[in-house]
């Protein structure tokens, strides 16, 4: 049985939330629904599952790696090319704390930034399902249903106040 992806555009959050409720009632699972909006909308507002993210884990991973790199810079490298300055320790701890702190933060920030790229699959210049109205504040609900049921779902979305319901098409952004 072939499937169709439909796109319903709503003016506001309330009808979009009702539409998602209705889709659930009509047997469409959360894995077959995607919502696109121009501002971040908390999952609880639309009755959607909590979206996963690895960004915070990657941040922590970056911090640990940065800490290790900082320790290496401070306490490893001076022994490679030792600079003996009269009366001073080769690997003193207080300056080491500064360098270690900076490296920890640098790596944590870099990992967080890269985390957004990895989790969101950025950059992505392939054709994607999208409508420009989203950045004008509209809420777009994409859902995948059996092609034979498309008419039934279109009618249901129109009844719930969708501005338009049409087959979603991937296009070059």
159 belongs to the binding site for other proteins (CB under 8 A): no
37 belongs to the binding site for other proteins (CB under 8 A): yes
For residue 52, the 8-state DSSP code is P
85 belongs to the binding site for other proteins (CB under 8 A): yes
31 belongs to the binding site for other proteins (CB under 8 A): no
Count of residues interacting with other proteins (CB under 8 A): 62
56 belongs to the binding site for other proteins (CB under 8 A): yes
CA 140 – CA 3 distance, rounded (Å): 19
Q: Among 80, 86, 87, 151, which residue interacts with other proteins (rule: CB under 8 A)?
A: 80
Q: Residue 134: how many CA atoms within 13 Å on its side-chain side?
A: 17
Q: Does residue 124 sit in helix, strand or coil?
A: coil
The helices-and-strands tally (H runs, E runs) of the chain is: 6, 6
150 belongs to the binding site for other proteins (CB under 8 A): no
CA 100 – CA 98 distance, rounded (Å): 5
Listed ranges 14-22, 106-114, 148-156, 160-168: which one lies at the site for other proteins (CB under 8 A)? 106-114
Torsion angle in degrees (nearest 10) through CA of 163, 165, 166, 171: 60
48 belongs to the binding site for other proteins (CB under 8 A): yes
**Which residues have C-beta within 8 Å of that of residue 33, sequence separation ≥ 6?**
20, 23, 48, 141, 142, 143, 144
Q: Among 2, 25, 86, 136, which residue interacts with other proteins (rule: CB under 8 A)?
A: 136
110 belongs to the binding site for other proteins (CB under 8 A): yes
Which H or E run contains 140?
A: strand 139-146
64 belongs to the binding site for other proteins (CB under 8 A): no
Residues in contact with other proteins by CB under 8 A are 34-43, 45, 48, 51-53, 55-56, 59, 73-74, 77-78, 80-81, 83, 85, 88, 92, 95-96, 98-99, 101-103, 105-106, 108-110, 112-113, 115-117, 119-126, 128-130, 132, 134-137, 173
């Amino acid at each position: 049985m072939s499937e169709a992806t439909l796109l319903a555009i709503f003016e506001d959050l309330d009808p979009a939330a009702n539409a998602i409720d209705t889709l659930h009632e009509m047997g469409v699972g959360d894995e077959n629904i995607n919502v696109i909006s121009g501002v971040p909308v908390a999952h609880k507002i639309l009755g959607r599952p909590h979206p996963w993210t690895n960004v915070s884990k990657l941040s922590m991973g970056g911090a640990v790696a940065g800490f290790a790199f900082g320790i290496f810079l401070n306490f490893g490298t001076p022994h490679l090319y030792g600079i003996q300055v009269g009366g001073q320790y080769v690997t003193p701890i207080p300056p080491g704390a500064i360098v270690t702190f900076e490296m920890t933060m640098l790596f944590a920030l870099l990992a967080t930034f890269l985390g957004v790229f990895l989790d969101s699959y950025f950059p992505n210049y392939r054709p994607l399902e999208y409508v420009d109205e989203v950045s004008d504040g509209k809420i777009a609900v994409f859902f995948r249903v059996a092609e034979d049921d498309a008419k039934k779902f279109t009618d249901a979305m129109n009844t719930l106040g969708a501005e338009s319901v049409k087959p979603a098409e991937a296009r070059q952004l």
